[in-house]
Amino acid sequence: MASGDPSGTLPSRADLAGAEEALSAGIDAVMSAMSGEARFTNENEVAFALLRKGCRHSACGERASALREVIPEQQQLIVSFLARVAQRRRRSCLRRVKELGEILAKASPSWQHLLENAEPLGGASGLLSEELQALSAKVEDAEGEAGGRGHAVLHALPTVVRIEDESRVFLRERRSQRYLSIAGPHSVVMTELPVSLFICHLDGQGASEFWSSCIEAEEARLKTRSLIDGPLSFALEHEGLPSHRHFLGSRRIFTELCCSSQRLGRRELFRLGKDTSLQHQCTGMCLYVDPLGPQKVVLSAEKSSSWEVLAAI
C-alpha cells in the first residue's frame, strides 16, 4: 500500500503514463507561452490550465516523482510563469496559483527554493509566504532531530553504491560535484541538483543488438566470454521527463551524448573503470566534464572524468 496515495492503492502503469503526459503537455504549453510577450498574452490562460491539470495529476503517491524530475531550467521557467500570472491579481486566478505553488513546494527542495526566491510568490507579502515558511519550519525541525547523526533527513546526500541490475541511481562528476541530467533527447547537461534518475541494466547476457546479430551459437558464446572477462558493462535508462524510458548513449556525432533511443543496443552500453572513469563501450571514449565549463559533458578520446554512482533516496 502506498502511504502517499489517498485511494490506498498503487497507481497503474496507465495512471503513471497519464500523469507524465499531462505534466509534459503543461510544461510544453508554459514554454510556448513564455517565449514572447505576444504569446504570453494569447496563451497564458491555456498554458496555466494545462500546467494545473498536469500538476494535480502528479501531486501524490508514485506519480509525484514526475514533478521531482523536471529539469532545473524548466522548474525556473514554470516558477517565473506563475509569478507573472500571480501579478495579475485576479482572485480566482490567485487561488489557483496558490494551489499549484503548494503542490510544487512539497514536491522537492529545489521547487521550494525557487518559489521562495520569486518575490510575488515567496516574498514577504508573497502569495505563498506563509505556506513556504511553514514548510521551512518542518524541514528545520527534521534537521534538528537528525543533528545527532550529522545530516538532515530531508536533505541527506545520496550515497555511493555498487552498480546492480535494476538499481536506480544518479551520476555525479567528482570534481565539479554536478549531476548528469537529461534536458532533451539530444541534450545532456550537468546540473547542480540531482534531477535525472537512471535505471541500471547490467549486460550479463548481452544487449539485444549484440545477440540478434549472432547467428552461430559459438560466436555468441565467445562474445559472452569476452564481455564477462572485461569491466562491468551496463546501460542507463532514464526514468523521468523528458525522454522517459530512453537510454543514455551516443548517436551520429560520436562526441555528443544523447538520450533518444528506446532500444538497448551497443551504443547504449557503458563501462565503469577501476579509476571510476565512465567509458562509452562502442566508441571507447570517456565521459568528460571540463572544469572551465562544468555545465557541459562530452565524450573524449583523450581525457576522462571521475564519476560517482549515487543511490536514489
CATH of the domain at 180: 2.80.10.50
pLDDT at 125: 78
Percentage of residues of the chain with pLDDT beyond 90: 26
pLDDT at 200: 92
Distances in whole angstroms, Cα of residue 297 to Cα of each of 171, 215, 220, 294: 12, 37, 34, 8
Write out the three cell numbers for 232: 562491468
| 302 and 176 inside one domain | yes
Report which DSSP code applies to 160. B
| 114 and 33 inside one domain | yes
pLDDT at 16: 63
Distances in whole angstroms, Cα of residue 217 to Cα of each of 90, 210, 233: 71, 13, 21
- Specify if 98 maps to a domain: yes
CA nearest neighbour of 171 among 230, 237, 216, 226: 237
Helix/strand/coil for 53: helix
Any alpha helices (H) in 189-295, and if so which ranges?
A: 208-212, 217-229
Rounded Cα distance between 127 and 149, Å, is 36
pLDDT at 71: 81
Quickly count: other Cβ atoms within 10 Å of residue 275's Cβ: 9
Helix/strand/coil for 284: coil
pLDDT at 251: 74
Give 221 or 287, the one with higher predicted confidence.
Answer: 287
Helix/strand/coil for 236: strand
- Specify if 104 maps to a domain: yes
Give 287 or 67, the one with higher predicted confidence.
Answer: 287
| 172 and 125 inside one domain | no
Cβ-contact 310, 272 below 8 angstroms: no
Give 158 or 232, the one with higher predicted confidence.
Answer: 232
pLDDT band of 218, cuts 50, 70, 90: very low
pLDDT over 50 (residue 94): yes
Question: Which position has the grid cell 546479430?
Answer: 213
pLDDT at 26: 92
- Specify if 145 maps to a domain: yes
| 90 and 135 inside one domain | yes
pLDDT digits (tens, 9 = 90+) for 258-268: 999 998 888 89
Question: What mean pLDDT do residues 70-86 have?
Answer: 86
Radius of gyration of the chain, Cα coordinates, nearest whole angstrom: 22
| 41 and 130 inside one domain | yes
Domain boundary residue, one of 85, 115, 149: 149
Any alpha helices (H) in the chain, and if so which ranges?
A: 13-33, 37-57, 65-68, 72-86, 91-107, 109-116, 119-122, 129-145, 208-212, 217-229
Question: What mean pLDDT do residues 57-76 have?
Answer: 76
Domain boundary residue, one of 149, 180, 198: 149
pLDDT at 124: 77
Average pLDDT along the chain: 77
| 126 and 176 inside one domain | no
pLDDT at 242: 87
Domain boundary residue, one of 120, 149, 178: 149
- Specify if 218 maps to a domain: yes
Question: What mean pLDDT do residues 63-92 have?
Answer: 81
| 191 and 282 inside one domain | yes
| 39 and 139 inside one domain | yes
pLDDT band of 307, cuts 50, 70, 90: very high
pLDDT over 60 (residue 160): no
pLDDT digits (tens, 9 = 90+) for 240-251: 888 899 999 987
- Specify if 255 maps to a domain: yes
Q: Where in the sequence is the domain holding 49, given as residue range(s)? A: 13-149
| 174 and 90 inside one domain | no
CA 48 to chain centroid, in Å, comes to 23
CA 242 to chain centroid, in Å, comes to 8
- Specify if 4 maps to a domain: no
Report pTM. 0.46
Rounded Cα distance between 206 and 224, Å, is 7
Least confident range from 66-75, 95-104, 136-145: namely 136-145
CA 53 to chain centroid, in Å, comes to 20
| 119 and 200 inside one domain | no
| 178 and 299 inside one domain | yes
CB-facing half-sphere around the CA of 2: CA atoms within 13 A? 13
Cβ-contact 236, 267 below 8 angstroms: no
| 231 and 114 inside one domain | no
- Specify if 5 maps to a domain: no
Q: How many domains, in total, are found in the chain? A: 2
- Specify if 7 maps to a domain: no
